[in-house]
Structure 1
Amino acid sequence: MKHRILVILTVLLLTGTAGCRRGEQAQQKEVRLGTQQATLSAAQTKPAPFPAETANKLQQMLSGKVESMKLPGAVLYLSTSEGNWMGVAGKADLAAQTPLKPTDRFRLGTLTEMFVAIVCLQLAEEDVLDLDASITNWLPADLSQQILNSEKITVRQLLNHTSGLLEPEREAFWETVRADPSRQWKPQEVLAYLLNDAAAAEDRPPSSLNDFSYSHANYILLGMIIERATGSPLSRVIRSRISDRLNLKNTFLEQQEEIPGGFVQGYADWDKDGAMQSVTKPLINPAIGLGDTGMISSAPDLVQLFRGLFLDNALLYETSVEKMLTLVDSDEGGYGLGIARLPTAWGEGWGQINQTTGFSMVALYLPVHDLMLIAWTNTSDRNTEPVYEIARRSLRIILGMP
């Protein structure tokens, strides 16, 4: 499997007062949070419907794409100020012929980075983390010694992928994973492999500090830093600081938490024999899932996450959101702290297109249209083309031709 972040985002300029005292801001956030939890819970159970004609077009499109592209299944969730629509087509389990549900859980892939970045910014608000301090303040000495320029690399540079760490050649790593698919990797084991493999890639140009160069190692290191700073496992930190605040009942970190009821079957050509196989039962460990990937969630939970971050200020102060949206240049159009930018045909938006073991997804927020879109399929073969096409066609149906 190839992890490649494909982002469909662009910057949203947020303005507002930022001069309140910390105590006043915290009090205001508590009030907003209580209101938001009630609002989101009600919205999730009783979404306002789209007009029947629009809903029928969306369902016909979704069912048609699943059939014509021969996908196991697909989920589409659209939320606007005028209404919500959740649609589904296909199967959650091909062997058991279990129908897919719009509230089913799936692997988020690199959207996990948004969760990690939010936690880092919260810790910065509390003066626990200094985003511009060296990562050597938080990492074990033996690990710091393995990282080129570690004393010069800051937490912020890990967050926006300007640390200079290279992304290793992925196929060699996945051959190692295929040889022992149930192995439970520890962060330092994965990092040792990634750092050694990247350092040995003499045929690739080196990356330098302050230049964007995507690497899973950045967010694995951030996961370790969060655990060191809080004294708690990453899963527990994300749950207390994000999931519990937003009432996310279907959001978990796969390698660190029990997942009651599990999640749907994801499919891929794991053995490279031309046939799709389940890569979730028995569990095939995606190995990289330690802050860089690894989150499990549902489409309704992700809509709540976007609302909490962008609309309700339930997770971060406005000044922190501005930091999150401060971009460095990247091939895809700009990357912030755990989030990236690209224009869409319907205006600028925030979100990601990515694939991970067994799943592909689009998560998109279009502020100019007050629209949130979550689309996912339970296959990681054929890259992200099918789920991107589903998202594009759904936007055309509800927003018209750009």
Structure 2
Amino acid sequence: MAIPLQAIEREEAFQRLLYRSVTLQKTVPGAMLRVEAPGFNWAGAAGLRDRVSGAPLRPGDGFHAASITKMFTATLCLQLAEDGELDLDRGIGAYLPNSVLDDLHVVRGLDRGRFITLRQLLGHTSGLADHFSDGRPLDDGRSAFMAELTNDPERLWQPEAMIDWTRDHLTAHFAPAAGWHYSDTGFVLAGLVIEAVTTMPLHQLYRAKIFRPLGMHETYMLFREAPTSFAAAVVSQPYVGDLHYGGLRSISADWASGGLVTTAADLARFLQAFVEDRVFRDHRSRQSMMAWRPTGERGVSYGLGMRHFNLEELGAPGFGELWGHTSFLKGFMLYWPSADAVICGTENQSEAAGVFSLLRPVSSLVPAILRLLAPG
């Protein structure tokens, strides 16, 4: 059967977009993209897997999911709630010991750590500080925790150590449910709750309840388990400016907030299942994750482990909305209802400003992708 000319032109346009990303943005080593829409599926890549080897990036290579991991952590919590193993609205002091929670969340002399709920952790409304980005920046612009990662690059971080670091260096922002503040620390606590109620390692729970049932054979937890296949072991390396971020063992600190390695195909497989309501037994779980709350950033709201972008407010009238999750390393796993399209990929460079500036903090690729997919 002949391929319609329009489809061929669209494929060529997507490939040009990837090449443009890595040629115009000199700091971007490589970019990859997978698009799945009615009557149109395409995957491509451009540039290098990493700057050291000079190996070309391929569409099936793995990459660091970073904060896209949060949607999987939230999904796991909702599944466990369906199983009756935890309660999203119960204080996490019911699951975690005082040694973890004491003095972690103190506002106006009141220690509220034990009363924070999982729903607040997953929705970034706990008031907890974010160990990754909070605190006074250093002279070179790095956060204090980023300096920890780069100064001791071989350290394997345990989640309790990240909580201790936050307690020792940062203070909470507001009482639980009194505002919105992005917190990787909150997702580390959520991961600890998951392990406490199941008595299983987090990476094993991901595999048992999400990855294996959905056929996500290339996704795994970096530094906690071996790659699940030869393909999964070939990983595109992310950079933060000139820093080879993917080469730091200390990024084991990402854990439940950002520690997965995945592929664009696996992300698309998950998001398609989520869109079709095949991830949960009870459709109300999906609705809970998509209960959007303003973040204070124009056009951006947040559910439980999910970002929502109002494209009308972001200067794209007629484009509707996007939802899913994005990452610090310019990865994205997004659904565009207007075209019934799943869009997954990465640029693997956190400091790339890009030539398109419609969406933040979304890869600069995304606005151009939407224009190419727009019906009509």
Establish whether TM, by shorter chain, passes 0.5. yes
Aligned partner of 1:268 in structure 2 is 239
Q: Which moved more, 1:259-268 or 1:141-150?
A: 259-268
Aligned partner of 1:51 in structure 2 is 7
> 2:46 pairs with 84, 89, 96, which one?
89
Asked if 1:375 corresponds to 2:345, the answer is yes
Aligned partner of 2:214 in structure 1 is 246
Whether the aligned pair in 2 keeps the contact of 1:267 and 1:279 (CA below 8 Å) is yes
Kindly state the Cα deviation for residue 93 of structure 1 after the two structures are TM-superposed: 2.8
Asked if 1:191 corresponds to 2:163, the answer is yes
Kindly state the Cα deviation for residue 136 of structure 1 after the two structures are TM-superposed: 0.3
Residues 202-260 of structure 1, C-alpha deviations (whole Å, 9 max, x = no match): xxxx3222111111110000000000111100000000000001000110111311125
CA distance in 1: counterparts of 2:169 and 2:259, whole angstroms: 22
Aligned partner of 2:139 in structure 1 is none
Where do residues 285-296 of structure 1 align in structure 2 (5 Å cutoff)?
Answer: 285-296=250-261
Q: Which amino acid aligns with 1:334?
A: S
Distance 1:127 1:289, change over 3 A: same
Whether the aligned pair in 1 keeps the contact of 2:30 and 2:49 (CA below 8 Å) is yes
CA distance in 2: counterparts of 1:364 and 1:179, whole angstroms: 34
Q: Which amino acid aligns with 1:123?
A: L
Distance 1:318 1:378, change over 3 A: same
Aligned partner of 2:294 in structure 1 is 329
Aligned partner of 1:342 in structure 2 is 309
CA distance in 2: counterparts of 1:231 and 1:394, whole angstroms: 42
TM-score (norm 1): 0.79
Distance 1:60 1:327, change over 3 A: closer
Aligned partner of 2:198 in structure 1 is 230
CA distance in 1: counterparts of 2:104 and 2:363, whole angstroms: 36
CA distance in 1: counterparts of 2:97 and 2:234, whole angstroms: 35
| Runs of at least 5 residues in structure 2 that lack an aligned partner in the other structure | 106-111, 136-141, 357-361
Q: Which amino acid aligns with 1:156?
A: R
CA distance in 2: counterparts of 1:241 and 1:385, whole angstroms: 39
Distance 1:382 1:336, change over 3 A: same
Aligned partner of 2:244 in structure 1 is 278
CA distance in 2: counterparts of 1:392 and 1:91, whole angstroms: 23
CA distance in 2: counterparts of 1:371 and 1:269, whole angstroms: 29
Q: Which moved more, 1:49-58 or 1:366-375?
A: 49-58
Kindly state the Cα deviation for residue 388 of structure 1 after the two structures are TM-superposed: 2.5
CA distance in 2: counterparts of 1:294 and 1:241, whole angstroms: 17
Whether the aligned pair in 2 keeps the contact of 1:375 and 1:390 (CA below 8 Å) is no
Aligned partner of 1:122 in structure 2 is 79
> 1:298 pairs with 260, 263, 280, which one?
263
Kindly state the Cα deviation for residue 99 of structure 1 after the two structures are TM-superposed: 1.3
Aligned partner of 2:366 in structure 1 is 391
> 1:76 pairs with 33, 37, 44, which one?
33
Q: Which amino acid aligns with 1:304?
A: R
Kindly state the Cα deviation for residue 385 of structure 1 after the two structures are TM-superposed: 7.0
Which SS does the other structure have where 1:111 is aligned?
helix
CA distance in 1: counterparts of 2:116 and 2:349, whole angstroms: 36
Kindly state the Cα deviation for residue 378 of structure 1 after the two structures are TM-superposed: 2.5
Aligned partner of 1:307 in structure 2 is 272
Kindly state the Cα deviation for residue 310 of structure 1 after the two structures are TM-superposed: 1.5
CA distance in 2: counterparts of 1:264 and 1:122, whole angstroms: 29
Distance 1:99 1:221, change over 3 A: same
Which SS does the other structure have where 1:388 is aligned?
coil
Aligned partner of 1:40 in structure 2 is none
Which SS does the other structure have where 1:303 is aligned?
helix
CA RMSD, aligned part only? 2.4
> 2:90 pairs with 133, 155, 177, which one?
133
CA distance in 2: counterparts of 1:341 and 1:265, whole angstroms: 27
Which SS does the other structure have where 2:113 is aligned?
coil
Aligned partner of 2:104 in structure 1 is 147
Q: Which moved more, 1:235-244 or 1:125-134?
A: 125-134
Kindly state the Cα deviation for residue 329 of structure 1 after the two structures are TM-superposed: 2.3
CA distance in 2: counterparts of 1:267 and 1:126, whole angstroms: 37
Aligned partner of 2:18 in structure 1 is 62
CA distance in 2: counterparts of 1:189 and 1:112, whole angstroms: 20
Where do residues 161-200 of structure 1 align in structure 2 (5 Å cutoff)?
Answer: 161-167=124-130, 168-169=134-135, 171-199=143-171
Distance 1:396 1:213, change over 3 A: same
Q: When the two structures are aligned, how many residues end up with a matched partner?
A: 341
Distance 1:263 1:121, change over 3 A: same
Kindly state the Cα deviation for residue 96 of structure 1 after the two structures are TM-superposed: 2.5
Distance 1:104 1:130, change over 3 A: same
| Runs of at least 5 residues in structure 1 that lack an aligned partner in the other structure | 1-47, 271-275
Displaced runs of 4 or more, over 3 A:
277-281, 383-387
CA distance in 1: counterparts of 2:277 and 2:252, whole angstroms: 34
CA distance in 2: counterparts of 1:212 and 1:349, whole angstroms: 20
CA distance in 1: counterparts of 2:373 and 2:89, whole angstroms: 43
Aligned partner of 1:158 in structure 2 is 121
CA distance in 2: counterparts of 1:316 and 1:366, whole angstroms: 24
Whether the aligned pair in 2 keeps the contact of 1:324 and 1:336 (CA below 8 Å) is yes
Structure scoring higher RCO (CA < 8 A, sep ≥ 6) equals 1
Which SS does the other structure have where 2:292 is aligned?
coil
Q: Which amino acid aligns with 2:265?
A: P
CA distance in 2: counterparts of 1:49 and 1:104, whole angstroms: 28
Distance 1:122 1:212, change over 3 A: same
Q: Which amino acid aligns with 2:239?
A: A
CA distance in 2: counterparts of 1:196 and 1:339, whole angstroms: 29
TM-score (norm 2): 0.84
CA distance in 1: counterparts of 2:354 and 2:187, whole angstroms: 22
